[in-house]
Each structure stands twice: as structure tokens, then as C-alpha cells.
Chain A
Amino acid sequence: MSAPLLSVENLRIELATRGGMVPVVDDLSLWLNPGETLSIVGESGSGKSMTALAVMGLLPRIGRVAAGRIMFEGQDMIQMEDAALRRIRGNQIGMIFQEPMTSLNPVYTVGEQIAEVLRHHQKQGAAEAWANAVDLLDAVRIPNAKGRAATYPHEMSGGQRQRVMIAMALACRPKILIADEPTTALDVTVQAEIFDLMRELATETQTATILITHDMGVVAEMADRVVVMLKGEKVEDGTVTDLINRPQNDYTKSLIASVPHLTPETRDESEVTAQVDQPLLSVRDLTVQFAVKKRWGKREMFTAVNGISFDVERGKTLAIVGESGSGKTTAALAVARLVAAQAGHVTLDSTDMLTLEGEALRQARANVQVIFQDPYSSLNPRLRAGAIVREPMDNLGNLPAAQRDARVAELFEQVGLHPEQMNLFPHQFSGGQRQRISIARALSTNPSLIICDEAVSALDVIIQAQILDLLRDLQRDLNLTYLFISHDLGVVQQMCDHVAVMYMGDIVEYGTRNAVFAAPQKAYTRNLLAAVPSVESARESV
């Protein structure tokens, strides 16, 4: 085997905090061979991104490399002069980042941003660089590359922007491409396309890739070797096949276990029937439109939800699944009257929700509560946790004031928090704990329907599993009914009894869980399922 292209030796990175220098990466060693794909996998805070930034010499101002070497072509990049390092960056080593929406400069055209790299490193003239930039855009499969080169980033979708980033990173045919969670902000079908592109280009240009991700499924599909990181340290490494099939470390095992395998083991669905006479929630022809302001003040309507119908049985879970912009969240919020619907009928517990007005509507809110996505913005930072859970009881329902605090304490225990934590403020809780507060708040008025709007999407996989367990336990104990909104098919598969797949405002497929996952009828659903990365590709056939 040839010598490694890049090797990281005993790397230690520290960040300056109020409490002094804190290590975020410690004693990390790894190497990258020419042409291979190495994956660094771990959850948020594992130090995987910091490692990548250290290789590029791009650590934030508060960070520094405290020990170790980063060897590239016989030179230690940490000791290197800034000017020498700049000749490597963007030239020998290219990098793409997690947020395509913010990683491109908004005030320059995409063509200019790619051409700039070529002018800078390869001293190409303006016309030559521009022509090459157009070719690169074509290579990353931007349609009409010649025309699109002159557009600005805000005129492109997230997936297209990430393609531009790839074109920029590969412009000088670097030896190494570092991709830091390149698809985390993208829809799953777009992710699959980006990965196809990366694979193809890397093979074509013989570029070695460091792929940073939190998803073992992505590792299994993309990487040759893998390094697992936890809290700044390497816990395990090896070839992907070895690691997936024979993980040694418990943490690695739990990461592998968290990857959904959508080939369904058929679950007993005897209780799940196709139609019920009296569903708890019945939605018919629900339509939601938004006014989009156009030039000359004329208003144009955008249809977010296009006349959809579905039912939810009492004590069961219906998942609405779809990619961003499919209208799934809008539909759910319209059911709760938190977004105005233009047409249709929503019957909840034999109440016609859409015709309620004023005080009657306010009182009806007690019957449908929402658990939101972002644990950091769904709790009022000025209120104590207890007051947050108590707020709906103060406004709705008929529990006497004297009993409300006792009820809050009871709810805290139910969701796995300590009643003494009632006095704390939201910023004193972790993300998972905040989501538990959200759940307690949703339970406080004993609603017959709970809407979970991407309730676990912002959480790391292990915390995610705990919250999903909690939701399932509560459903069993309290006979709750969930309308479960998610983009994550793995999560949906674990949670739901029925599934509705939404695409651009319409329900394209609707049925029981087994029916949809095992035998999808529509091409869109099949694509969606196929796009989810799984560890199966790396499994050895037994």
C-alpha cells in the first residue's frame, strides 16, 4: 500500500471558553489514502467538524491546535506559513460545508465565485476562468449551466447551491475533498443525488474524500473506512465492512442500530383497519393558500395544501411524511387552526373545527395540542418550565387554580423530568429535556389529538430514540392520538399505524404502515424509500 496522502497524528484541539481552554478533540489519529473515502462519524459535539476545520487551518478564532501534527505531502500543516497554507486550500484540498444556503456569498454570481478559484490558484484569465466555471457547473449537472452561471445564490435551491459548492471545491482538481455534513440540510432525495454526484466525480478525478456525517447509513453507502468519534475522542475505526458487521464498541453499535432499515418486518396489524366508522379526526378536502406579494402590489395565491383528506383513529398514529415544501406542517397546523384554511372540513371529536370563531375557537384549542420541532425556540425563554407547562391550563380547561401546580408536577414525572425542575428556565435544560417540557405542555389540557411537528428532528439520534420511546409509552398509557409530521422515514416507520405521503400539497399515497412501506404504489414513494441510506449495502451476506 502506498503512503497515506494525509495523516493526523495525536491531534488535540482546544476552545477558549469562560472556564478556560476546553479540549474538543483529544489524541486523535487518522490517515487518508489516495483515492479512498474516509468517513468521520459522530453526533453533534463529537469534534468531527473541528477536526476538518483544523486540517484546513480554519478553526474559529477561539480555537487552537494544542498538540499533534497534520501531515500532508511530507509537511506539517500546523507549522506551515499562512501563505503556503493558502496555496493548499482550495487548490490541493477543497472543502464543502453543511449549510448550502449560507455558504455561498450572496452578493456575487455563482459563476464568479467558481471562476475566482481558478483565477487565484491557476492564474487563469477572466474569460478562460469563466468558461471553465461554466463547464464545472455543467459537470455538477446544473441545467443550462451557461445561463445559470450569471445567477446569484438566492435564485437557486439548496441542492443546486450544494452542487455549486462541489464545483467550487473541485475546480482545481484537488487531491483531497473534505465534505462536512454536506447533505444534512437537504431533503433525502436531493441527498441521494448529491452523493451520486460526489461518488462519480471523486472516481473520475481520483480525489480522496473525507466525509463527515452523523448518519451510519451514509457511511455504509459512501465510505471505504470509518472513524467513530465521541466527545472529542476516537472510539473505534476500521473498514466499513468490518465496523458495520462486527462493531466492538457499544456506542458504535447504538449508532448502527439507530439507522432505519426500511425493509419491513411485517408488524401485526390486526388492530389496524383500513376504515373506521367514527374516526377521532376526519379531514376532508383541506385547502390552504398563502398570499404571495407580487410586483405592483398584486397578490397571487400559493397553494400549500391542495384539497387533502385523511382520518385518524382514536389511540392511533397517522404520520404525514414528505420533503420540505410538501405542505405537511401547514396541513397539520391548519387542522389545529393555527394556520387559516381556505376550504374543506375538519371534524375533531364531532366538532367542526373550521367554523369555530372567537371564544369557542379558543376553548376548542384545549382539545388539540402541538409539540414543535425546535427545542430552542418552542419554549418562551422568559418563563419558568413550570409556568410553560401550566400556561394552557391557566387559559383553557376547568381545573381549579389550586390543583394546577400539582398537575404540573404530575406531568413532569410523566415525561421523565423531576418536579423540582419546575423552577428552572428553558436555557437551563438540554435539547432532549426541553422536548420533554414541550410534551408535558401538550399533555396539560388532556387533548384528544396531539400534533407532533417534526418533534424529534432537531435531536441527536440517541436522544431521538429516548423521546420516541416516551411518546410511545404515553400513547399506550393515556390512549393518545398522534398526528405525526416528519420528513424522516425511519422515525415514521417506528411510530405510525397509518401513513400519508405528501408531495407539493397533495397526498400521493395513503394507507397502513405495512402497505406503504412494503408495497408502495407510487413512484414518488418508491424513490423516497430508496433514497434513505441504510447499512444494508455494507452487510455481509450471512
Chain B
Amino acid sequence: MSEQTHLKARSPFAEAFEMFRRNHAAVAGLVILLAIIGVAVLGPVLYPGNPFDMVWAPFTPPGTEGYLLGTDYLGRDLLSLLIHGARVSLTVGLAAAFVTVTIGITIGALAGFYRGWVEEVLMRLTEFFQVLPTLLFSMVIVALFGASLLMITIAIGLVSWPAVARITRAEFLRIRELEYVTAARAGGVRNGGLMFRVILPNALPPIIVQAALMVGSAILFEAGLSFLGLTDPNVASWGQIIGSNRQYILDASYTVTVPGIAIFVTVLAISLVGDGLNDALNPKLRER
């Protein structure tokens, strides 16, 4: 490193952003993701009407005038269903990831920072939640407490947080032993400050990556639940389209393939962004 020559500050996040920008796949993923978000936000405005209305003969193949993607077994416009479904998928995905990360960080941070019996109790709790098969458990929650979007979001969050808690704890355990944390304590920083201002910002990179992946898993999760019919029957959702048209794959396979592609592309875009974040935030890679 040259001595005293460059005085321009380069924050670790600025460097990470630079790395991310150079990752073409990640940037492509981000662009696709933004486009899907755009569709979800503006779609119902651009393509109004109730997607559940029967608009044309059932099994109208894609490409028919006015019905770009054709109609399903009830004669509903597939494009309209998809556009309205994007909203549900993305909202549930983001909200569930938020719930997951909030619970996960809180429990992981407390366990990793305080150690002792706090850690013992919280990690046993985490292990307990990991024993419950996620989908079955959330099926039970949704079945018992109603299939509203809110309940689905909570159910997904409730079964997904252990992974985030484990990563957060591992990072806290690693970072709390580093000398700069001891230095901060010697400099009079209180416990709360140590946890949230000193350790947490340094623990964030892997958590951010995990959070991005959680959005993808939550979308897949919601799709799975609605594929099984465990969803709010009054809102359109991608998984539900596939589930309800499943019996007719011989007559009209596009009613299954097209919404599947929507889910696939969305989750793929999210994981590309997640991979980009991982490479950008992982200091090991940067040193090479």
C-alpha cells in the first residue's frame, strides 16, 4: 500500500457496490427483479379488471387475439392472473423475509452476544424449530388459523428464521472475539452499543445475503402452499394457478408451464442478486 498518497476515503460498502456493479449476472438479476416489481406495482393499473372473471372460452391457447397467454380451465385470462399474482408473490416474499430476518437476527444476536444460559435456551429453541418440517408446520398453522395472506406470511416467517439465527449467532461469536470489539469496550461503549453499533454492522454481510435468499424461498414457499390450495381463495397467486389447472395438463400444459416460469424467473433473479451480494460483501474474495 502506498504511503499517504491517496486520501480519498473508500468505505467497505462503496467497494462492495463497485464489486456488485462489475458482476453482470447479478446486475441482470437486479434488472429483471426491478421489472417484475414494476409489473407488480403498476400491473393492476395497466391491466385492470378482476382476474377471476371468466372472459373467454376455457383452454383458449396462448396467442389468441386479446389473450396473450390464453385462458385456463375456467376461461380466466392467464395474463391477468399472472400480473395480479405477482403482487401476492412479491408482497408475501418480502414481508415473510422481513419477519424471518427480524426474528433470526434478534435471537441470533442475543445468543451470540450474551452466551451462557441465554445462548443455551435460545439455541435449544432454534433446534426445536428446525425439527419441525417447515411446510407441514406452516400448513398446520394456515389450516388452523385461516388462509389469509397475513397468516401465510407469519407462518413462513415462523418456520424460516432458524437459518438466519444460526448465521447471526455464528457471526457474533466470531466477531465478539476480535480485538476491535474489546477496544470498543475499553473505549467505554455500552453493551447495547457493542451489539448493535459495533458487532451487528460487521455481521451484516452474510445476513444480507441470507435475507435475499429468504425472499426467494418465501416466494417458493407461498407458491407451494397455494399449489396445495392452502391460500386465500380470493386473491390470485402463481402457485394457485398451477394447482388448480393441474388436472388438465394434457389439454393445456401452458396453464402450468407459464406461471411456473414466472416463479422460476423471479426466484432466479433474486438468487442472482444474492450471489452478487455474496461475492461483493465477502472480503475473502476481494483480497484475491
Name A's B-contacting residues (CB within 8 A).
62, 333, 336, 338, 362-363, 365-366, 368-370, 372-374, 377-382, 384, 391-392, 395-396, 418, 420-421, 423-425, 427-430, 433, 438, 441, 445
Contact partners of B186 in chain A: CB under 8 A:
336, 338, 365, 368-370, 392
**Can you report 18 residue pairs joining A to B where beta carbons are below 8 Å apart?**
A338-B182, A338-B185, A338-B186, A362-B190, A370-B183, A377-B180, A381-B180, A382-B202, A391-B184, A392-B186, A395-B187, A396-B187, A418-B4, A418-B7, A420-B7, A425-B9, A433-B3, A441-B187
The docked-state distance in angstroms from the alpha carbon of A429 to that of B7 is 10
Contact partners of B198 in chain A: CB under 8 A:
380
CB closest chain-A residue, reference B7: A420
The docked-state distance in angstroms from the alpha carbon of A381 to that of B183 is 13
B288 at the interface (CB under 8 A from A): yes
CB closest chain-B residue, reference A381: B12
The docked-state distance in angstroms from the alpha carbon of A360 to that of B268 is 54
Contact partners of B201 in chain A: CB under 8 A:
382
CB distance from B117 to the nearest CB of A (A): 12
Contact partners of A366 in chain B: CB under 8 A:
188
List CB contacts (< 8 Å) of B166-218 with chain A. 178-180, 182-190, 193, 198, 201-202
Contact partners of B11 in chain A: CB under 8 A:
382, 384, 425
A365 touches which of B9, B12, B180, B187 (Cβ 8 Å): B187
Do B188 and A392 touch (CB < 8 A)? yes
Do B9 and A428 touch (CB < 8 A)? yes
Do B182 and A380 touch (CB < 8 A)? no
Do A421 and B178 touch (CB < 8 A)? no
Do A378 and B183 touch (CB < 8 A)? yes
Do A428 and B6 touch (CB < 8 A)? yes
B10 at the interface (CB under 8 A from A): yes
B1 at the interface (CB under 8 A from A): yes
Contact partners of A378 in chain B: CB under 8 A:
178-180, 183
Do A392 and B187 touch (CB < 8 A)? yes
B: number of interface residues (CB 8 Å): 26
Do A370 and B1 touch (CB < 8 A)? no
CB distance from B123 to the nearest CB of A (A): 14
Do A380 and B10 touch (CB < 8 A)? no
The docked-state distance in angstroms from the alpha carbon of A198 to that of B83 is 75
Do B12 and A425 touch (CB < 8 A)? yes
B7 touches which of A396, A424, A438 (Cβ 8 Å): A424
Do B1 and A381 touch (CB < 8 A)? no
The docked-state distance in angstroms from the alpha carbon of A288 to that of B263 is 58
Do B187 and A421 touch (CB < 8 A)? no
CB distance from B90 to the nearest CB of A (A): 31
User: A429 with B179: in contact, given A338-B185, A396-B188, A423-B7 (CB under 8 Å)?
Assistant: no
Do B180 and A380 touch (CB < 8 A)? yes
Do B10 and A381 touch (CB < 8 A)? no
CB closest chain-A residue, reference B198: A380
Do A373 and B179 touch (CB < 8 A)? yes
Q: Which of B10, B179, B185, B189 has the most CB of A within 10 A?
A: B179
- 7 smallest CB-CB distances across A and B, nearest first, come from A395-B188, A392-B187, A378-B179, A396-B188, A372-B179, A423-B9, A380-B180
Do B12 and A370 touch (CB < 8 A)? no
The docked-state distance in angstroms from the alpha carbon of A380 to that of B175 is 10
Contact partners of A333 in chain B: CB under 8 A:
182
CB distance from A18 to the nearest CB of B (A): 9
The docked-state distance in angstroms from the alpha carbon of A380 to that of B184 is 9
User: A425 with B1: in contact, given A369-B186, A370-B186, A391-B187 (CB under 8 Å)?
Assistant: no
CB distance from B284 to the nearest CB of A (A): 13
B12 touches which of A338, A362, A427 (Cβ 8 Å): A427
The docked-state distance in angstroms from the alpha carbon of A403 to that of B186 is 21
A363 touches which of B1, B7, B9, B188 (Cβ 8 Å): B188
CB closest chain-B residue, reference A438: B183
The docked-state distance in angstroms from the alpha carbon of A421 to that of B184 is 21
B 1-21 binary contact with A (CB < 8 Å = 1; else 0): 101101101111000000000
Do B179 and A421 touch (CB < 8 A)? no
- Please name 15 further chain A to chain B contacts, defined as beta carbons within 8 Å, in addition to the given A365-B187, A370-B182, A420-B7, sorted by A numbering: A338-B182, A362-B188, A374-B179, A378-B180, A379-B180, A380-B183, A380-B198, A381-B12, A381-B180, A381-B202, A382-B202, A396-B188, A424-B7, A427-B12, A430-B3
B9 touches which of A374, A380, A384 (Cβ 8 Å): A384
CB closest chain-B residue, reference A386: B9
The docked-state distance in angstroms from the alpha carbon of A433 to that of B3 is 9
CB distance from B268 to the nearest CB of A (A): 29
Contact partners of B9 in chain A: CB under 8 A:
384, 423-425, 428
The docked-state distance in angstroms from the alpha carbon of A336 to that of B179 is 14
Q: Which of A369, A421, A425, A438 has the most CB of B within 10 A?
A: A425
Contact partners of B190 in chain A: CB under 8 A:
362, 395
B178 touches which of A377, A420, A427, A445 (Cβ 8 Å): A377
Contact partners of B180 in chain A: CB under 8 A:
377-381
Contact partners of B185 in chain A: CB under 8 A:
338, 365
The docked-state distance in angstroms from the alpha carbon of A445 to that of B188 is 10
Contact partners of A372 in chain B: CB under 8 A:
179, 182-183
The docked-state distance in angstroms from the alpha carbon of A377 to that of B179 is 6
Do A421 and B182 touch (CB < 8 A)? no
Do B1 and A429 touch (CB < 8 A)? yes
CB closest chain-A residue, reference B9: A423
The docked-state distance in angstroms from the alpha carbon of A378 to that of B184 is 9
CB closest chain-A residue, reference B6: A428
List CB contacts (< 8 Å) of B12-34 with chain A. 12
Contact partners of B178 in chain A: CB under 8 A:
377-378
Q: Which of B1, B6, B188 has the most CB of A within 10 A?
A: B188
Contact partners of B3 in chain A: CB under 8 A:
430, 433
User: A365 with B179: in contact, given A380-B202, A381-B202, A421-B7 (CB under 8 Å)?
Assistant: no
CB distance from B108 to the nearest CB of A (A): 19
Contact partners of A381 in chain B: CB under 8 A:
12, 180, 202
CB closest chain-B residue, reference A392: B187
Q: Which of A336, A338, A369, A395 has the most CB of B within 10 A?
A: A395
The docked-state distance in angstroms from the alpha carbon of A374 to that of B178 is 9
